[in-house]
Amino acid sequence: MAEKSLLLPKKGRKWSAFKRHIPYYLLILPGLIWFIIFRYLPMYGVSFAFKDVAPFEPVQDMLKAPSVGFRHFKTFINSYYFKILMKNTLEISLLRLAFGFPLPLIFALMLNELRNVRYKKVVQTISYLPHFISWVVVAGLVTMMVTTDGGVINNILKAMGRKEIYFLGDVRYFRSVLIISGIWKELGWNTIIYLAAITGIDTQLYEAAIVDGCGRFRRAIHITLPGIANIIIILLIFSIGGLLNAGFEQIMLLYSPPVYDVADIIDTYVYRKGIIEMNYSFSTAVGLFKSAIAMVLIVLANVTAKLFGREGLW
């Protein structure tokens, strides 16, 4: 069959390959349509960042709105909120990166060393199940845990003779609640990626290391980690690219006015300006500004990975 296809002209070979892969194209089609409708078509709305659109205008009037150039971007950068929003967004994101990125890797290395397969599967299943729970439900669980009205943590503090703490309303503790609950929800899911990469490492390397007298820790450091280094770098690039995504849904469900000083981020500001105040042009400009910074971060992270001799995204 392969020899016959080689005898066909170039266009004929392409058509033959296309017909052979039609079932795969049909599988891709629903996802492709979803991306076109919900990701690419709405991109025209980015033009609102350079216009002055009024709420409740007909769509045709919005499209014909006069251009204002970079006025909304300048307004945001010169506003009182700019420094606060950037500071909170970067600090929360860096805390997530510092604690949330290495923990799944460490957890994957620990799971990989378990010899009891049944116990390993049970632990892995329990760890990644929270990923499928909505943030609405998780926020409710977190609130029940830390509330001063019968919350488990505050009940323990009272039993120890300590004062109750309003975790969700105290600027000293709010970010800790965010980071810990975020890690708990996504730890197991991120671990799956590393475990899948570990399975691709040649087992003969481990056998040779055992013969040479290497213990489990040394095998993990000198074989497992180098074997999945490219996956680690790629996930790190994605994490850096999403550095300004500090967790809108989680923060929106947990924060309140008392902790705005440490919890208000770019996404929550866009929500207030765009949805509540209906300032569509300004909120679009702020969102576009964040996306542009994220793209720059991805490019810088990818270039840095290339400089160190690692595979990047392109």
Give per-residue pLDDT as tens, 6-22: 555 566 667 777 888 88
Question: Which residues have CB under 8 Å from 48's CB, separation 6+?
Answer: 62, 65, 280, 281, 284
What is the per-residue pLDDT across 193-230, written as a single tens digit (0 to 9) for each? 898 888 888 888 888 888 888 888 888 888 888 888 88
User: Which tens digit of pLDDT belongs to each residue from 66-113?
Assistant: 888 899 999 999 998 899 999 999 999 999 989 989 999 999 998 888
What was the pLDDT predicted at 204? 87
User: What tokens were used for 89?
Assistant: 């967004």
Question: CA triplet 46, 48, 49: central angle to 5 degrees?
Answer: 75
Confidence band (pLDDT; 50, 70, 90) for 1? very low
- For 40, residues 6+ apart whose C-beta sits below 8 A from its C-beta are none
Task: Report d(CA 182, CA 96) in Å as an integer.
Answer: 8
Given this model, what pLDDT does residue 13 score?
67
Would you tell me how many other CB atoms lie within 10 Å of the CB of residue 277? 12
Please state which CATH class domain 51-134+186-307 belongs to. Answer: mainly alpha
- Please tell me the predicted confidence (pLDDT) of residue 92: 92
pLDDT tens digit string along 47-72? 888 888 877 777 777 777 888 889 99
Sign of CA dihedral 79, 81, 82, 84: positive
Cβ proximity of 113 and 216 under 8 Å = yes
Q: Which helix (H) or strand (E) holds 97?
A: helix 81-100
The total of other beta-carbon atoms located within 10 Å of residue 80's CB is: 7
CA atoms within 13 A on the CB side of 158: 13
Contacts for 43 with CB less than 8 Å, ≥ 6 apart? none
Give the tokens for residue 205: 């390397």
pLDDT digits (tens, 9 = 90+) for 113-168: 888 888 888 998 898 899 999 999 999 999 999 888 888 888 898 888 888 888 88
Domain locations in the chain as residue ranges? 51-134+186-307
